Chains A and B, each alone.
Chain A
Amino acid sequence: MSDAGTNVVWLGSPTFPRAASAALANPQLRRNLRKATTTIRDKRLAATGELDDWEQLREAGAATKRRVLRHLDRYLLQLEESVTRAGGIVHWAADAAEANEIVAELVRATGSDEVVKVKSMATQEIGLNEALAEAGIRAYETDLAELIVQLRDDRPSHILVPAIHLGRAEIRETFVHEMAHWGRPAPEGLTDEPRALAAAARLHLREKFLRAKVAISGANFAVAETGTVGVVESEGNGRMCLTLPETLITVMGIEKVLPKWQDLEVFLQLLPRSSTGERMNPYTSTWTGTTPGDGPQTFHLVLLDNGRTATLADTTGRQALACIRCSACLNVCPVYERTGGHAYGSVYPGPIGAILTPQLVGVEHAETLPFASTLCGACYDACPVQINIPEVLTHLRAKAVAARRARRRTPSGEALAMKAATAILTSPGRLAAAQKAASLGGRAIARNGVIGPLPGPLRSWTDARDTPAPPRETFRSWWRRTRPQHPSGEQR
């Protein structure tokens, strides 16, 4: 999967440990990130705490995704049929290169040499903008943060807020210097007030929306039963793209299909509250094929594999495909908060990136990513579809270590330890038992509160690091003891 057109891993990026230490040396970046992640975290807790059945909603969301993934072929065929019946045209793309080729060809057929784009992880993943540029087609990003990143020729650092690493002064500079190269220049005397910057973006993009003949979007979901596709957004740039142009091309990962229209009642509660911490995001658009006299009269849906079927084949790893890209796991992650998104060297940063990227490209191409975590479990607790990220991480660590060992042909205690850890993290019951055992056993072999090198197969794991002795009480049991009845229903 080292496809030239793919952006899943950025070629030439340093490995996570090297990129992370560079990021850690940048205090401005750390301040921006801390402020941002703390703000979203608090909002998310308030929004999810408001619903006393949050756990039941998560359960339903996770179960729906499980059902979809176990019968994915059937749902995709049903979706193809319903979209076609409603007047849409369905395309299939096995990898990034195929998807890019399909889209470029569709744009060329319209006679247009430019497109407006709604923020979409799938099109970033396949490097669509670069591929279109090669085909002589200019792609304009219209989400404010994506616009900033595009004008700077930068890379996104967060799923939801791609310019989270930038402050207002930097954004103003970018607008003043770059907007003129892309179209309408920034207004005279532009200040760095967020309101003024947003107004500048409104003016800059307006002419593009009004003249665009073709739009490209991703999709948050597509309903197999009805053929309905949906985009969830805030700014209205999505509505512009989905409504004004004559042709709409939507690129969607095959895992985004949902069985029934009714399923939206779950995901439209889970997604906004987990993502921006709002009861509902400002705008959600849904469309079913084409509607005479309203919106694009030609609609193409490109179904993208690009490593998803390989992920599906791993029975432990496949749960990563349930991800609804809310970014809650990034915002609660202590590692992400300190390193930021660029260190992951992938369009998918943070905990979800650490488990999705290695699976999409093959673990041997992103070996250090499964180690970019402390296994604290905050991501699992936050995930609206209950993806057990620590479980998948340890599973992938075992794979990465095994791959490395196969190359070196030396046995490794680390691989064994990760295999054992996977078994334990799979079940909350086993985890509790193991933590208790570690609390007792670990204290017995610890000196000065630190476990030094161990004998036997664990030696190669412990000789590279000192493990703090486990505390007398695990965090989970302390929490349960001190907060027996949390009113929000959230177990944290």
Chain B
Amino acid sequence: MTARDTILGRIRDALVDVPADETPDDVPLPRAYHRSHADVDAPALFAERVADYRARVVEATADTARATIAELLAARSLRALVVPPGFPEDLVPDGAWRRRAEPLDVGELEAADGVLTTCAVGIAVTGTLVLDAGPGQGRRALTLLPDYHLCVVRADQIVGDVPDAIARLDPSRPLTFISGPSATSDIELDRVEGVHGPRTLEVLIVRPSQEHP
């Protein structure tokens, strides 16, 4: 008998109280909770909640995004900036840094001190960015090893709350939910930002131009 048979057999023996004709759907599962706790403008709430994690949030319009990115990057005095494949070329400013593109090995990634990406979804209530390794985001290691991450999120990518985000995301892709910079409270429960992931996270919210003429 394999361990698989043993375990499945034990489970069936353990569940003798469950009627043979009961199906999972026969077990009631009330979903009486709200679909969203966001009652205001989602991008505004998102900005507030991301900032609560001590990540810097900046807003721009489609017209000013490139200049704003240039300013943010210039302030970091980066040596090497990783730009993943598929990142909108018109948003990449020139600067004093060396631009790094794939393929990159671990050593090269470790040597880069910044990464500029898009994201798949923003969640307003929890101040969360979700990356799905799609265009402009690259594979997961790109946003992990460099110490500085600037993430660009379009206002229309920001949903109100967790249920909307889960519905929008494709679970077959590798997903990373990011809520503020990495942190630990393991020492006397004192929160320290920046352990292994990027120690600095900045988020740029880009609204359509017509909203702010």
Interface residues of A (CB under 8 A from B): 32, 35-36, 39-40, 50-53, 56-57, 59-60, 63-64, 66-67, 70-77, 86, 91-94, 98, 142-145, 148, 161, 163-164, 167-168, 171, 194-195, 197-198, 201-202, 205-206, 209-210, 223, 226, 228, 234-237, 239-240, 242-244, 254, 259, 261-262, 264-266, 268-269, 272, 276, 278-288, 291, 293-295, 303, 305, 309-310, 312-313, 315, 318
Known: A60-B30, A194-B188, A309-B11. A279 touches B126 (CB 8 A): yes
Known: A262-B166, A279-B49. A254 touches B7 (CB 8 A): yes
Is B60 engaged at the interface, CB distance under 8 Å to the other chain? Answer: no
Instruction: Determine if A305 and B166 form an interchain contact, defined as CB atoms under 8 angstroms apart.
Output: no
Q: Determine which of B3, B11, B128, B174 lies in contact with A73 in the assembled complex, contact meaning CB atoms within 8 Å.
A: B11
Extra 19 A-B pairs, beta carbons < 8 Å, given A194-B187, A310-B14: A53-B37, A59-B32, A63-B29, A67-B27, A67-B29, A75-B24, A92-B3, A94-B6, A197-B187, A198-B187, A254-B11, A264-B162, A276-B185, A282-B197, A283-B197, A287-B175, A291-B173, A293-B139, A309-B13
Cβ distance A121 to chain B, nearest Cβ, rounded Å = 16
Instruction: Determine if A70 and B27 form an interchain contact, defined as CB atoms under 8 angstroms apart.
Output: yes
Instruction: Determine if B8 and A76 form an interchain contact, defined as CB atoms under 8 angstroms apart.
Output: yes
Known: A92-B2, A94-B7, A295-B139. A313 touches B14 (CB 8 A): yes
Is B15 engaged at the interface, CB distance under 8 Å to the other chain? Answer: yes
Is B209 engaged at the interface, CB distance under 8 Å to the other chain? Answer: no
Cβ distance A51 to chain B, nearest Cβ, rounded Å = 6
Looking at B12, B126, B141, B184, the one whose CB has the most chain A CB atoms below 10 A away is: B184
Q: Which residues of B contact A283 (CB under 8 A)?
A: 176-179, 182, 197
Looking at B7, B179, B183, B197, the one whose CB has the most chain A CB atoms below 10 A away is: B7
Is B135 engaged at the interface, CB distance under 8 Å to the other chain? Answer: no
Q: Which residues of A contact B184 (CB under 8 A)?
A: 144, 198, 234-235
Q: Which residues of A contact B32 (CB under 8 A)?
A: 53, 56, 59-60
- When C-beta atoms are compared, the residue in chain A nearest to B196 turns out to be A236
Known: A66-B27, A67-B27, A210-B110. A239 touches B183 (CB 8 A): no
Cβ distance B54 to chain A, nearest Cβ, rounded Å = 11
Interface string of B126-159 (1 = CB under 8 A from A): 1110000100000111001000000000000000
Is B40 engaged at the interface, CB distance under 8 Å to the other chain? Answer: no
Complex: A98 Cα to B3 Cα, angstroms: 9
Q: Determine which of A39, A244, A265 lies in contact with B141 in the assembled complex, contact meaning CB atoms within 8 Å.
A: A244
Instruction: Determine if B197 and A309 form an interchain contact, defined as CB atoms under 8 angstroms apart.
Output: no
Instruction: Determine if B185 and A268 form an interchain contact, defined as CB atoms under 8 angstroms apart.
Output: no
Q: Which residues of A contact B125 (CB under 8 A)?
A: 279
Instruction: Determine if A236 and B182 form an interchain contact, defined as CB atoms under 8 angstroms apart.
Output: yes
Instruction: Determine if B15 and A198 form an interchain contact, defined as CB atoms under 8 angstroms apart.
Output: no
Q: Which residues of B contact A51 (CB under 8 A)?
A: 37
For this complex, 21 residue pairs linking A to B, each with C-beta atoms less than 8 Å apart, are A72-B11, A92-B4, A94-B7, A144-B187, A161-B186, A171-B187, A198-B192, A235-B183, A240-B144, A243-B140, A243-B144, A244-B106, A261-B166, A268-B177, A279-B126, A282-B179, A291-B173, A305-B3, A305-B7, A309-B14, A312-B11
Instruction: Determine if B166 and A264 form an interchain contact, defined as CB atoms under 8 angstroms apart.
Output: yes
Instruction: Determine if B196 and A240 form an interchain contact, defined as CB atoms under 8 angstroms apart.
Output: yes
Known: A197-B187, A226-B172. A278 touches B195 (CB 8 A): no
Instruction: Determine if A303 and B7 form an interchain contact, defined as CB atoms under 8 angstroms apart.
Output: yes
Complex: A443 Cα to B132 Cα, angstroms: 63
Complex: A52 Cα to B192 Cα, angstroms: 30
For the complex of A and B, list the 5 residue pairs with the smallest distance between their C-beta atoms, beginning with the closest. Answer: A236-B197, A236-B196, A313-B14, A309-B10, A236-B182
Instruction: Determine if B195 and A144 form an interchain contact, defined as CB atoms under 8 angstroms apart.
Output: yes
Known: A195-B192, A205-B196, A236-B195. A313 touches B13 (CB 8 A): yes
Known: A161-B189, A259-B24. A198 touches B195 (CB 8 A): yes
- When C-beta atoms are compared, the residue in chain A nearest to B27 turns out to be A67
Instruction: Determine if B163 and A265 form an interchain contact, defined as CB atoms under 8 angstroms apart.
Output: yes
Known: A73-B12, A86-B172. A282 touches B178 (CB 8 A): yes
- Majority-rule SS of B interface residues: loop
Instruction: Determine if A295 and B140 form an interchain contact, defined as CB atoms under 8 angstroms apart.
Output: yes
Instruction: Determine if B177 and A280 form an interchain contact, defined as CB atoms under 8 angstroms apart.
Output: yes
Complex: A226 Cα to B175 Cα, angstroms: 13
Cβ distance A437 to chain B, nearest Cβ, rounded Å = 30
Q: Which residues of A contact B133 (CB under 8 A)?
A: 291, 294
Q: Determine which of B31, B107, B144 lies in contact with A239 in the assembled complex, contact meaning CB atoms within 8 Å.
A: B144
Complex: A74 Cα to B126 Cα, angstroms: 34
Complex: A64 Cα to B25 Cα, angstroms: 10
Instruction: Determine if A202 and B24 form an interchain contact, defined as CB atoms under 8 angstroms apart.
Output: no
Q: Which residues of A contact B29 (CB under 8 A)?
A: 60, 63-64, 67
Complex: A56 Cα to B13 Cα, angstroms: 32
Instruction: Determine if B174 and A305 form an interchain contact, defined as CB atoms under 8 angstroms apart.
Output: no
Known: A94-B7, A294-B140. A163 touches B186 (CB 8 A): yes
Within 8 A of A (CB), among B21-51: 22-24, 27-34, 37, 49
Known: A198-B194, A202-B196, A243-B140. A312 touches B14 (CB 8 A): yes
Q: Which residues of A contact B27 (CB under 8 A)?
A: 63, 66-67, 70-71
Instruction: Determine if A36 and B139 form an interchain contact, defined as CB atoms under 8 angstroms apart.
Output: no
- When C-beta atoms are compared, the residue in chain B nearest to A147 turns out to be B186
Complex: A284 Cα to B189 Cα, angstroms: 20
Complex: A171 Cα to B188 Cα, angstroms: 10
Known: A57-B33, A262-B166. A239 touches B196 (CB 8 A): yes
